[in-house]
Amino acid sequence: MSTAITELKGVGSALAEKLATLGIRHLEDLLFHLPFRYQDRTRVSPVGSLAHGQEAVVTVEVVHAEVVMRRRRALLVRVADGTGSLVLRFFHFNQTQVRQFEKGVRLRCFGEARRGPGRLEMVHPEYRVIAADADDAALDTALTPFYRTTEGIQQLRLRSLTDQALARLDSVVLKDWLPVELMPGLALPSLRDALMIVHRPPPDADVAALMEGRHPAHRRLAFEELVAHRMGLRRLRHLTRHLQAPSIVPGNELARQLQAALAFELTGAQARVLAELGEDMLSTEPMLRLVQGDVGAGKTVVAALAAADAVDAGYQVALMAPTEILAEQHLLNFSEWFEPLGVNVGWLTGKLSVAKRRDAIEAVALGHSRIVVGTHALFQKDVVFDRLGIAIIDEQHRFGVHQRLALRQKGESGNQVPHQLIMTATPIPRTLAMTAYADLDVSVIDELPPGRKPVTTVAIDSSRRDEVIERVGLAVREGRQVYWVCTLIEDSEHLQAEAAEDTVATLREAMPEFRIGLVHGRLKSADKEAVMKSFKARELDLLVATTVIEVGVDVPNASLMIIENAERLGLSQLHQLRGRVGRGAQASSCLLLYQAPLSRTARERLGIMRKSNDGFAIAQKDLELRGAGEVLGTRQTGLAEFRIAELGRDDDLLDAVSEVADQLMTQQPTATDALIDRWIGDNRKDYGSV
Ligand code: ADP
Ligand code: MG
């Protein structure tokens, strides 16, 4: 259905190969390969109106030309048009050129005006000599586009190819599946008009809006892409409907026992979400549910109660976490909860010895381990479950979409699949969830357990470290426990570990009377576990840690956290880290140490952290500052990566996107297929592999 790029004039296999590196294989790809900036060669600007940095066409007369020898030999040509004068500066030139610039010769130039010594200059402008009576006929009729390109493909070539593709718009291929009536109130142009405007903007177009992607033409294309994306994910969801999962009756004996053993009542939000899970699991349609809850909202208990239901019904449970340390926390919790009830909890990570791993795998295969906790080692091919009923993934944003898909296949036999529960502490704005997680149902634990006090947050220049150490001393003397988090910009566990070791040495020297522990990613997992255990048991006053403690670590008595180099961390990461305190009855504080001077965004981030404890508000800000790919950690997976749309910028479209997508899916299967194919085409295997 799509037209191969080789059908265009002048595109042979060599050029086609180069175009393919830009992701351009079909005519459509070329049409959706949008310019990232424009030049205005449609009109002549008066020289007197030019500003520094402005690109413009001018029509001028030569006043004077000379070759000067300063640091570098240069040809300087003074030109004027009656409104002002300008210098054309050439470093590379020949004698013919020098002679050409005789006084009184008329030139049409295009270049960027820059401040020079004395007056504005254009360095190496494009120019041509024009006749004295020449009018403006030779000007362009549209703005000149610039495309992202690759070695060996000139802008001119891309322009002529897009010219060809645009010329075919009327006759061919690109059917407009979203007629204007379908998008009432949005005031968006037709597909054809949108493409014409974006590639060849008329002289009066709002260039700034085009370059920022805010122009209606741009939004029309983004809209279509978002619609296609949502339909792709919804279809993925429909496909799983044909699969079967075990029907599990909720709220049975084991779950009741577990709930009775807990030291607290569930919050209203926890109870509501647990009921939603129960309803899902009762059905033979596989559950695919994302449970969101701010850090400390109590997701783990909810997962454990759902796990209890599955175990009681005779099924196994897999619980997966993205890091060893988080998996260890879960192992601790689940063992504490389930072992007294006679349920075996297994343990499987990549760091097990060969013998231990073999035993663990055997226990899983034979069904002795009713619950298995681990890292992505649970994904490995040789791990075969006896009867997997539910797979629980914690802190989903660390798992890519591909892993999400792989997991979905885990435990699949014939058309039998396990239920799936995904937990995330990255609060995902509703609109984003509708698009990026359109294949999932979403539950939100939007209430914190009672008695939680908001964490007081302050930002402190790291030159005031001594005061901070003093404050730590005071806190410890009051019986509080403290985290000291070392961060580095490099994503190197090795360097992080080194920095943490240095910090421990300094702190031990400054506070010899305190018990100070250290945990980082390079410790053996038994050692890590031992340190975490003694911190939890209050055998340590202060825990120096790297960002390995970012997620899941739960020590309610810890009520002070210091975060070093806080200016380098993103909002979500800061919020996650800060979530380690404020879990107990005590009022907690978080000190964000920063290195001055702060950039504008760093200042903004620290300001937001000081003002807000609300994970959703912070996530929304994070999205605005960083974009969706980074927030969701899906940059590498390509799923939240759009060609044209940008979450954050195009969020206001998303309500209409869902509406239109859902309407098309029920009413227009042909359009649905065509749009998914058009926009998701080559990535389709990601969607189809379920
Ligand atoms: P998260 O949602 O961040 O994973 P956790 O499940 O780790 O949160 O819970 C944080 C802490 O709150 C744990 O110590 C847990 O035992 C406790 N907790 C969970 N639910 C409740 C509740 N309903 N009442 C009191 N404490 C709770
Ligand atoms: Mg958790």
Q: Specify the CATH number for the domain of residue 392.
A: 3.40.50.300
Question: Which atom of ligand 1 is nearest the CA belonging to 556?
Answer: 14
Measured by CA distance, the residue closest to atom 22 of ligand 1 is 449
Closest CA to 653 of 663, 664, 661: 661
Question: Which atom of ligand 1 is nearest the CA belonging to 265?
Answer: 23
- The values of phi and psi at residue 62, to 5°, are -70, 130
Percent helix, strand, coil in the chain, to 5, is 45, 20, 40
Adjacent-strand bridge partners of 21 = none
CA distance 125 to 103: 18
Characterize 437-455 residue by residue with b for buried, 16 or more Cβ atoms within 10 angstroms of its Cβ, and e for exposed.
Answer: bbbbebbbbbbbbeebeeb
CB 86 within 8 A of CB 80: yes
Q: How far is the CA of 321 from the centre of ligand 1 (A)?
A: 17
The model's pLDDT over 197-208, given as tens digits with 9 standing for 90+, comes to 999 999 889 988
Structure tokens of 549?
């403690």
- Percent of the chain scored above 70 by pLDDT? 89
Q: Which of 264, 305, 613 to mutate to test the pocket of ligand 1 (most atoms within 8 A of CB)?
A: 264
Collapse the DSSP code of 609 into the 3-class scheme (helix H, G, I; strand E, B; otherwise coil) and give the result.
helix
Q: How far is CA 170 from the centre of its chain?
A: 37
Q: Sign of torsion, CA 328 334 339 345?
A: negative
Task: Look at residue 557 and tell me if it is in a domain.
Answer: yes
Question: Which atom of ligand 1 is nearest the CA belonging to 445?
Answer: 2
- Percent of the chain scored above 90 by pLDDT? 49
Has this prediction a pTM greater than 0.75?
no
| Beta carbon of 578 within 6 Å of any ligand 1 atom | no
Looking at the 3D structure of the chain, how many domains does it have?
4
Task: Look at residue 629 and tell me if it is in a domain.
Answer: no
Instruction: Supply the DSSP symbol for 242.
Output: T
Q: How far is the CA of 324 from the centre of ligand 1 (A)?
A: 20
Q: How far is the CA of 578 from the centre of ligand 1 (A)?
A: 15
Average pLDDT, the chain: 86
Same domain, residue pair 534 and 596: yes
Domain limit, last residue, from 568, 591, 612: 612
Residue 684 has a pLDDT of: 40
The model's pLDDT over 75-129, given as tens digits with 9 standing for 90+, comes to 999 999 999 999 999 999 999 889 999 999 999 999 999 998 888 999 999 898 9
> Letter for the amino acid at 561?
M
Measured by CA distance, the residue closest to atom 15 of ligand 1 is 298
Question: Which atom of ligand 1 is nearest the CA belonging to 301?
Answer: 6
Q: Which of 301, 422, 445 to mutate to test the pocket of ligand 1 (most atoms within 8 A of CB)?
A: 301
Comparing 59 with 635, the larger pLDDT belongs to: 59
Same domain, residue pair 492 and 416: no
Integer angstrom CA distances of residue 455 from 61, 577, 579: 69, 12, 9
Closest CA to 215 of 228, 204, 230, 226: 204
The model's pLDDT over 26-57, given as tens digits with 9 standing for 90+, comes to 888 899 999 999 988 888 999 999 999 999 99
Closest CA to 225 of 631, 681, 687: 681
Residue 58: which domain range? 47-138
CB 656 within 8 A of CB 186: yes
Domain limit, last residue, from 563, 591, 612: 612
Predicted confidence band at 633 (pLDDT cuts at 50, 70, 90)?
A: very low
CB 174 within 8 A of CB 30: no
CA distance 679 to 642: 9
- The values of phi and psi at residue 468, to 5°, are -65, -45
Same domain, residue pair 587 and 496: yes
Task: Look at residue 646 and tell me if it is in a domain.
Answer: no
Same domain, residue pair 320 and 416: yes
| Domain CATH for 132 | 2.40.50.140
| Beta carbon of 296 within 6 Å of any ligand 1 atom | yes
Q: How far is the CA of 297 from the centre of ligand 1 (A)?
A: 6
Structure tokens of 443?
């539950």
Q: Taking the CA of residue 286 as centre, how many other CA atoms within 13 Å lie in the half-sphere pointing to its CB? A: 32
Same domain, residue pair 296 and 385: yes
Q: Please compute the mean of the pLDDT values over residues 289-298 and round it to a whole number.
A: 87
Return the ligand number nearest the Cα of 554: 1
Same domain, residue pair 134 and 148: no
Question: Which atom of ligand 1 is nearest the CA belonging to 295?
Answer: 3
Q: Write down the residue that tokens 């990232």 correspond to.
A: 36
> Letter for the amino acid at 94?
N
Residues 6 or more apart whose Cβ sits within 8 Å of residue 363: 344, 346, 369
CB 331 within 8 A of CB 277: no
Task: Look at residue 174 and tell me if it is in a domain.
Answer: yes
Domain limit, last residue, from 556, 581, 612: 612
CB 315 within 8 A of CB 388: yes
The model's pLDDT over 358-413, given as tens digits with 9 standing for 90+, comes to 999 999 999 999 999 998 888 788 888 989 999 998 876 555 555 555 666 665 66
Same domain, residue pair 606 and 518: yes
